[in-house]
């Protein structure tokens, strides 16, 4: 057969490239069109002939043991790949994707051009990045011929080409697909691909060899599907093949140039000013004239035939940003939104969806939980609606957007969820398909992935256990329970063990609400973690200042376990022994000793605690700094107890009254930390007891932060000391 290969090097998302390649196919139809895109999507390529609302993406996925598990191929109205594909389909020309499946490429890094050459190119064009440099070379002029465009892009591709194993691997795969098409057709094969691949593909095709065969594994863990996206998502993505800044501008540019219209940036500016004025937002004539005049001047200076997006943005910054509030100017804020674009894609009826997506959407519809454009709050009683709770928790684990847990069931057994459709909802549903073909399989795969990252941290394992319980994947709960039991016995850190105990208590509470069969096993984990915590506390070496705060907070966990797990066989005797030992340890940090004392107060009958005992505890402390630290630790554990026993506040006030001004300032940081745990109402009650209502009002009206107040107090005492020395009197 007689055939030739013609290369059309593209800049992904280029209006100029899109218009030229579409015209080439319409005016001189080739025998076939091959496009750098996901080969694995070829069996469903006809779905791209449907009436989709752009932008959309092809999402391909593979099992987690294949390295990178998913990749996007965005398609917008001005993508040359999209225009080439649609033009070929309209003309009845065979069209295929030819890029290697991402999971075959031995490269974990994002493909990128040679950085030193990019820097040199940007320097010569006087721009900041590669996008702007290619703008200057290809899209700004807008009147390039087909041949001139191809010449520039091949030259650019040669400059930016990076000789790397991953790129060569892809080029060998694409060359084999070209050879396959050569065996099937007679005539010109138009290859639409990244310009940096052209030299490599020509070199590969110069070797006369049989193409290597490839077939997608027959495994539903591999797949590809269409998913809608948005211009906001394209704008947010960064990377060689991922997205593009200001897609709204390029879409408008494509629409204008396809109709022979120039001056897109100026048109957008004037439309925006009109829109803002209609919305009663003030945009002065002077500001509008300044922006337009500056933009035209910058365009002329930069050799642009018309005002470009960079000219417009730079002109706005120069004309409107006059102080540190200039970035909030309504014109700047809105033009950025306009250049980004507000378009949201949608798939046409008849598009194939992965089985997991179909299952999840069906469940959401059946249970009345499908997110809608209007945000709504949904309350779920876990004991009555476990299916609803399990579905929404599954969506959280799978990373589906638009679903947020705003209040857990720990307080009253009722969860509150916020549901709302956002553009990322459907795309994240499709992404979740990489984890499995149904909900249970996908959730288990995702949680096992998290479990693999957990190492030997019992808190992390307990968190995965809670998630598995909430999602209702009971087989996995049993597996995690055994692993968690082993880690608890080996735990060496109070802080991580305490955090794990909190998660386990949450899991025990949730399992009780949902009637879970693993409740007994989770209870055993709580008993084991409580016993191990007591062992570690008894052997606790003196804590440093940095460690003390975390240890103080971790002491809350066993207390909460005893309160919330009253039906469990938790040893109060061993717990009390560990606390007494810690409280009496003269080498231990005062904050930790205070916390142990507070925990003992919580355990004991508060009504029988003598006021004298409180005073004895405070009197044993030697320095003001230690007093502040001790009170901090005590109140972290026994705030509620102290609130019910105002004698403690009186005793503390009396102890503080004995301190000199300098000693009081030394104790102040710890005291401030201690009482920061109190809500405003309780702090006000304490102030009223000590100062009276009049003083409380004065303090409430005293608008100064604690650091400034400490400086004021210190300065006042300094003045009093100097004055007393001068007068020869006691400053008391």
Strands 3-10 and 95-99: unpaired
pLDDT in tens, 552-575: 999 999 999 988 888 898 999 999
| pLDDT of 661 | 74
Q: Which domain holds residue 302?
A: 249-340
Burial class (CB within 10 angstroms; exposed 0-12, middle 13-18, buried 19+) of 561: buried
SS3 of residue 284 by DSSP: coil
SS3 of residue 518 by DSSP: coil
- Asked whether residue 225 falls in the same domain as residue 137, the answer is yes
32 domain residue, yes or no: yes
| pLDDT of 606 | 45
| 120-134, 658-672, 696-710, range with greatest mean pLDDT | 120-134
| pLDDT of 374 | 92
Rounded CA-CA distance 347/55 in Å is: 9
Burial class (CB within 10 angstroms; exposed 0-12, middle 13-18, buried 19+) of 358: middle
pLDDT in tens, 147-167: 999 999 999 999 888 888 888
Residue 61 near residue 223, CB atoms below 8 Å: yes
pLDDT over 90 (residue 660) = no
Kind and range of the H or E run holding 281: none
Rounded CA-CA distance 257/166 in Å is: 37
pLDDT in tens, 404-432: 999 999 888 999 999 999 989 999 999 99
- Asked whether residue 69 falls in the same domain as residue 189, the answer is yes
Only one residue has tokens 């290597």, namely 212
pLDDT in tens, 363-373: 999 999 999 98
- Asked whether residue 167 falls in the same domain as residue 268, the answer is no
Rounded CA-CA distance 569/217 in Å is: 52
Task: Name the least confident of 207-216, 239-248, 562-571, 628-637.
Answer: 239-248
- Asked whether residue 374 falls in the same domain as residue 328, the answer is no
Domain boundary among 407, 435, 463: 435
Count of helices and strands (H, E) across the chain: 31, 10
- Asked whether residue 275 falls in the same domain as residue 396, the answer is no
- Asked whether residue 272 falls in the same domain as residue 224, the answer is no
- Asked whether residue 35 falls in the same domain as residue 94, the answer is yes
Helices 330-340 and 309-320 pack at an angle, to 10 degrees, of 170
Provide the 10 A C-beta neighbour count for residue 393: 24
pLDDT in tens, 44-69: 999 999 999 999 999 998 876 655 56
- Asked whether residue 15 falls in the same domain as residue 103, the answer is yes
Task: Name the least confident of 385-389, 501-505, 577-581, 634-638.
Answer: 634-638
Burial class (CB within 10 angstroms; exposed 0-12, middle 13-18, buried 19+) of 286: exposed
Strands 376-381 and 3-10: unpaired
- Mean pLDDT within 655-677: 76
- Asked whether residue 151 falls in the same domain as residue 185, the answer is yes
Domain boundary among 311, 340, 369: 340
80 domain residue, yes or no: yes
- Asked whether residue 148 falls in the same domain as residue 59, the answer is yes
712: pLDDT confidence band, cut at 50, 70 and 90?
low
Strand partners, 10: 194
Based on the structure, what is the number of domains in the chain?
3
Return the ∠ at Cα 710 (arms to 705 and 715), rounded to 5°: 130
Rg (CA), the chain: 34
With b for 16 or more beta-carbon neighbours within 10 A and e for fewer, the 49-85 pattern comes to eeebebbbbbbbbbbbebeebbbbbbbbbbbbbbbbb
619: pLDDT confidence band, cut at 50, 70 and 90?
low
Nearest in space to 488 (alpha carbons), one of 457, 451, 463? 457
- Sequence-distant (6+) residues with CB within 8 A of 532 are 488, 489, 491, 497
pLDDT in tens, 496-547: 999 999 999 999 988 888 777 778 899 999 999 999 999 999 999 999 988 9
- Asked whether residue 157 falls in the same domain as residue 99, the answer is yes
428 domain residue, yes or no: yes
- Mean pLDDT for the chain overall: 85
39: pLDDT confidence band, cut at 50, 70 and 90?
very high
| pLDDT of 605 | 47
Question: How remote is the C-alpha of 195 from its chain's centroid?
Answer: 33
- Asked whether residue 269 falls in the same domain as residue 124, the answer is no
């Amino acid at each position: 057969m007689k055939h030739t290969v013609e290369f059309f090097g593209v800049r992904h998302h280029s209006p100029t490239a899109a218009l030229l390649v579409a015209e080439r196919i319409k005016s001189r139809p080739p025998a076939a069109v091959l496009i750098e895109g996901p080969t694995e999507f070829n069996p469903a390529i006809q779905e791209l002939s449907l009436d989709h609302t752009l932008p959309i993406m092809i999402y391909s996925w593979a099992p987690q043991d294949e390295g990178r598990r998913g990749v996007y191929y965005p398609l917008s109205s001005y993508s040359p790949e999209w225009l080439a594909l649609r033009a070929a389909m309209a003309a009845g020309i065979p069209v295929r994707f030819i890029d290697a499946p991402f999971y075959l490429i031995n490269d974990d890094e994002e493909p990128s051009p040679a950085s030193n050459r990019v820097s040199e190119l940007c320097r010569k064009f006087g721009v900041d990045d590669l996008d702007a440099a290619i703008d200057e070379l290809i899209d700004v002029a807008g009147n390039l011929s087909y041949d001139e465009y191809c010449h520039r892009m091949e030259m650019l591709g040669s400059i930016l080409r990076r000789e790397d194993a991953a790129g060569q691997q892809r080029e060998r795969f694409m060359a084999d697909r070209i050879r396959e098409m050569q065996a099937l057709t007679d005539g010109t094969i138009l290859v639409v691909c990244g310009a940096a691949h052209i030299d490599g593909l020509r070199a590969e095709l110069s070797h006369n060899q049989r193409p290597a065969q490839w077939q997608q594994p027959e495994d539903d863990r591999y797949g590809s599907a269409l998913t809608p996206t948005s211009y906001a998502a394209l704008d947010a993505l960064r990377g060689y093949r991922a997205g593009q800044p200001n897609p709204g501008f390029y879409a408008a540019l494509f629409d204008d140039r396809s109709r022979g219209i120039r001056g897109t940036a100026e048109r957008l500016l004037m439309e925006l000013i009109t829109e803002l004025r209609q919305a009663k937002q003030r945009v002065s004539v002077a500001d509008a004239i300044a922006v337009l005049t500056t933009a035209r001047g910058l365009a002329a200076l930069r050799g642009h035939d018309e005002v470009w997006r960079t000219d417009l943005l730079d002109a706005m910054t120069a004309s409107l940003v006059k102080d540190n509030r200039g970035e909030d100017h309504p014109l700047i804020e809105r033009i950025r939104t306009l250049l980004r674009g507000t378009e949201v894609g949608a798939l046409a009826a008849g598009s194939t969806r992965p089985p997991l997506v179909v299952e999840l959407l069906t469940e959401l519809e059946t249970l009345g939980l499908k997110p809608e454009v209007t945000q709504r709050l949904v309350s779920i009683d876990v004991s009555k609606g476990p299916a609803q709770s399990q579905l929404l928790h599954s969506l959280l684990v799978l990373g589906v957007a638009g679903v947020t847990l705003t209040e857990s069931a720990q307080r009253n057994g009722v969860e509150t969820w916020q549901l709302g459709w956002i553009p990322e909802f459907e795309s994240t549903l499709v992404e979740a398909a990489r984890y499995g073909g149904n909900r249970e399989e996908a959730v288990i795969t995702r949680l096992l992935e998290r479990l693999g990252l957990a190492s030997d941290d019992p808190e992390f394992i307990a968190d995965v256990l809670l998630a598995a319980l909430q999602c209702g994947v009971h087989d996995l709960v049993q597996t995690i329970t055994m692993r968690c039991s082993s880690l608890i016995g080996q735990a060496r850190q109070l802080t991580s063990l305490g955090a794990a105990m909190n998660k386990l208590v949450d899991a025990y509470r949730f399992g009780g609400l949902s009637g879970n069969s693993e409740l007994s096993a989770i209870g055993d984990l709580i008993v084991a973690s409580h016993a191990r915590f007591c062992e570690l506390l008894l052997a606790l070496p003196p804590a440093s200042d940095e460690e003390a705060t975390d240890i103080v907070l971790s002491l809350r966990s066993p207390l909460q376990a005893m309160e919330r797990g009253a039906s469990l066989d938790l040893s109060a005797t061993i717990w009390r022994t560990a606390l007494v030992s810690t409280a009496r340890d003269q080498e231990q940090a005062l904050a930790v000793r205070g916390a142990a004392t507070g925990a003992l107060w919580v355990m004991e009958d508060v009504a029988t605690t003598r006021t004298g005992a409180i005073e004895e505890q405070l009197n044993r402390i030697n320095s003001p700094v230690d007093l502040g630290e001790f009170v901090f630790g005590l109140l972290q554990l026994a705030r509620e107890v102290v609130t019910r026993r105002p004698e403690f506040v009186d005793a503390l006030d009396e102890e503080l009254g004995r301190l000199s001004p300098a000693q009081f300032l030394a104790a102040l940081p710890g005291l401030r930390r201690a009482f920061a745990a109190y809500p405003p109402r309780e702090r006000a009650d304490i102030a009223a007891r000590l100062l009276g209502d009049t003083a409380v009002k004065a303090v409430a009206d005293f608008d100064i932060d604690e650091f400034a107040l400490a400086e004021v107090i210190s300065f006042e005492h300094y003045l009093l000391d100097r004055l007393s020395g001068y007068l020869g009197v006691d400053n008391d």
